[in-house]
Amino acid sequence: MSEENPAEGDHRRASIVTALREGVRRVDDLARACGVSTMTIRRDLRVLEQRNEIRRVRGGAVPVDAWTFGHRRGRSTAAKDVIAAKLRPLLPDRGGVGFDGSTTVHSLARLLKERPANGLTAVTTGFETFHELSGTPGCRAYATGGTADLHTGSLVGPLAEVTLRQFALHTCFLSATCLDDSIGSTEFTADEAAVKRALTAVSRRTVLAVDFSKLGRSAVAKCLSLDEIDILVTDLDPLDERLDPYRGLVDLL
């Protein structure tokens, strides 16, 4: 086997990063796009991860900037606006609610700022969401504290979980990395899954909001089973056949 020209390897790895940023995630798809074996792609991914250019996930990889809040907030904005509009009527006029640190739920916080509810207390694991809520008239906002998850930007860890146990909430609003009808919701990190379970544990009702691209997929860390989710909100019409696997298991909106 001839030794690879270093320039060829550098060019291919640059192409891999470009493909990841364009939405190609799986090793098999990257191999086809680059015209090399999956073994070569896996070696390239190890090199790119060591350079802190990508993060390997189950079955593939994502670019580092795909984890940042600003990058994620700029993706699927139309879907997030549709979801936020569906979520707004689920907010109680008074009482306590929980918000995770996702960009999808952050869209609800922005909408609440435009149409505030009086007497609402909100606790969140998201720094950006806390910033939105703290400027909302009629809303008392709390941030949990904790350690920032480098992958998601959410506040996680024992301090966040202890803080959440001090609350008794009416509804928590969560998103997920992926949702599968047999596995339930999953996250990229175990810490993120743990803090979302903690939010669910102190809430009478759990609302999960995801855009349809996350359906039928799974990430590495299990979070909630479907019987722990009361309402599933997506950007699809509730009668859309793509929601059939979840029909009868959760309320669809």
Give the distance, in angstroms, between the CA of residue 44 and the centroid of all CA atoms in the same chain: 26
Bridge partners of residue 11, in order along the sequence: none
Q: What is the pLDDT of residue 18?
A: 76
- The residue with greater pLDDT, 141 or 52, is 141
Judged by average pLDDT, the poorest of 39-43, 119-123, 150-154 is 150-154
Residue with tokens 């202890």, as numbered in its chain? 162
**In the chain, which residue ranges form alpha helices assigned H by DSSP?**
6-21, 27-34, 38-50, 69-73, 77-87, 103-114, 127-134, 158-164, 190-201
Q: What is the pLDDT of residue 165?
A: 95
Q: What is the pLDDT of residue 1?
A: 45
The overall pTM is greater than 0.85:
no
Instruction: Give the pLDDT confidence of 207-224 residue by residue, as tens digits.
Output: 999 988 889 888 888 999
Residue with tokens 């909430």, as numbered in its chain? 169
Give the span between the Cα atoms of 126 and 65, in whole angstroms: 18
- CB of 91 within 8 A of CB of 112? yes
pLDDT beyond 70 at 75 = no
Q: What is the pLDDT of residue 148?
A: 84
Residue 248's contacts (CB-CB under 8 Å, 6 or more residues apart) are none
Angle between helices 27-34 and 6-21 (to 10 degrees): 130
Judged by average pLDDT, the poorest of 40-44, 47-51, 67-71, 125-129 is 67-71
Name the pLDDT band for 70 (thresholds 50, 70, 90).
low
End-to-end CA distance of the chain: 57
pLDDT beyond 70 at 59 = yes
pLDDT beyond 80 at 237 = yes
Average pLDDT, the chain: 87
Instruction: Give the pLDDT confidence of 163-183 residue by residue, as tens digits.
Output: 999 999 999 999 998 899 999
Q: What is the pLDDT of residue 53?
A: 77
CB contact burial 137-151 (16+ within 10 A = b; e otherwise): eebebbbbebeebeb
Average pLDDT, integer, range 109-126: 83
